[in-house]
């Protein structure tokens, strides 16, 4: 490998993070979280965004949301917030956010990152994004092996996320490269259920999620 190749800068990434209106977020946590459900949803999103912003491969985080509370809190962390347009579901919102990110950073890759990764480690995210440099489109399956926690497209590549349902199969079918790397548990551990949250807490979540979880006595026993 030439000296020039070894010293070439790594690709930087803009990550689009969709955040639901809190009143509709984390509904599968209703029984366990009770009156703290919306606080938990906000804490999980904030820990996810904070960790992503600490990753040295991430140039910017674009949050797509129509809820003013997470918009204000995530903007204070350093994210750029855009509205949910065209308000037609998750994938159209991600495409809109990706379009805005490419206007701001046309030389960066674009990724769609789940807002449900409270144990996210910046170094693990960096390893994933390094792997994503090697294919036009890539994705990371969730811990259950059914969904997707991260989808990426290199600069100039059409951004075509397929989140929802069995998105692992959908992304594979579209030709995206599956990134099954070692030691990236925090990138795969999304949180939708009480058992998911227990698993994330075992990995070590960010401080906001840990603080809310400490107020949930229902987490003391398996769901």
Please report, for the domain that includes residue 210, its CATH number: 3.90.550.10
Q: Is residue 60 part of a domain?
A: yes
Q: Is residue 107 part of a domain?
A: yes
**Angle at alpha carbon of residue 222, lines to 218 and 223, rounded to 5°:** 70
pLDDT digits (tens, 9 = 90+) for 2-61: 343 343 468 999 999 999 999 999 999 999 999 999 999 999 999 999 999 999 999 999
Closest by CA position to 14, among listed 138, 153, 145: 153
- What predicted TM-score, i.e. pTM, was given to this entire model? 0.94
Cβ–Cβ under 8 Å, residues 132 and 111: yes
Q: Is residue 42 part of a domain?
A: yes
pLDDT digits (tens, 9 = 90+) for 92-151: 999 999 999 999 999 999 999 999 999 999 999 999 999 999 999 999 999 999 999 999
Q: How many domains does the chain have?
A: 1
Q: Is residue 22 part of a domain?
A: yes
Q: Is residue 223 part of a domain?
A: no
Q: Is residue 5 part of a domain?
A: no
Cβ–Cβ under 8 Å, residues 112 and 151: yes
Domain extent for 108: 10-214
Two tokens, residue 144: 């259950």
Rounded Cα–Cα distance for residues 201 and 91 (Å): 28
Residues at the binding site are: 148, 164, 167
Q: List 60's β-bridge partners, or say none.
A: 14
Q: Is residue 158 part of a domain?
A: yes
Rounded Cα–Cα distance for residues 64 and 133 (Å): 24
Residues at the binding site for phosphoenolpyruvate are: 148, 164, 167
Two tokens, residue 56: 């040295």
Coil, helix or strand at residue 47:
helix
Q: Is residue 2 part of a domain?
A: no
């Amino acid at each position: 490998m030439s000296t020039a190749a070894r010293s070439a800068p790594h690709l930087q990434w803009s990550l689009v993070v969709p955040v639901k209106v809190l009143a509709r977020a984390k509904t599968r946590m209703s029984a366990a979280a009770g009156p703290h459900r919306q606080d938990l949803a906000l804490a999980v999103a904030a820990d996810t965004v904070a960790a992503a912003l600490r990753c040295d491969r991430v140039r910017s985080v674009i949050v797509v949301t129509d809820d003013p509370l997470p918009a204000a809190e995530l903007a204070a962390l350093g994210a750029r917030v855009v509205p949910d347009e065209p308000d037609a579901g998750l994938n159209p919102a991600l495409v809109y956010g990706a379009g805005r990110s490419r206007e701001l950073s046309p030389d960066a890759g674009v990724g769609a990152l789940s807002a449900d990764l409270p144990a996210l480690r910046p170094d693990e995210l960096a390893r994933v994004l390094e792997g994503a440099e090697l294919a036009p489109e890539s994705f990371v399956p969730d811990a259950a092996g059914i969904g997707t926690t991260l989808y990426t497209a290199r600069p100039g590549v059409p951004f075509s996320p397929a989140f929802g349902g069995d998105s692992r199969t959908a992304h594979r079918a579209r030709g995206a490269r599956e990134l099954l790397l070692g030691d990236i548990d925090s990138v795969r551990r999304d949180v939708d259920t009480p058992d998911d949250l227990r698993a994330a807490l075992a990995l070590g979540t960010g401080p906001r999620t840990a603080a809310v979880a400490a107020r949930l006595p229902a987490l003391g026993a398996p769901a």
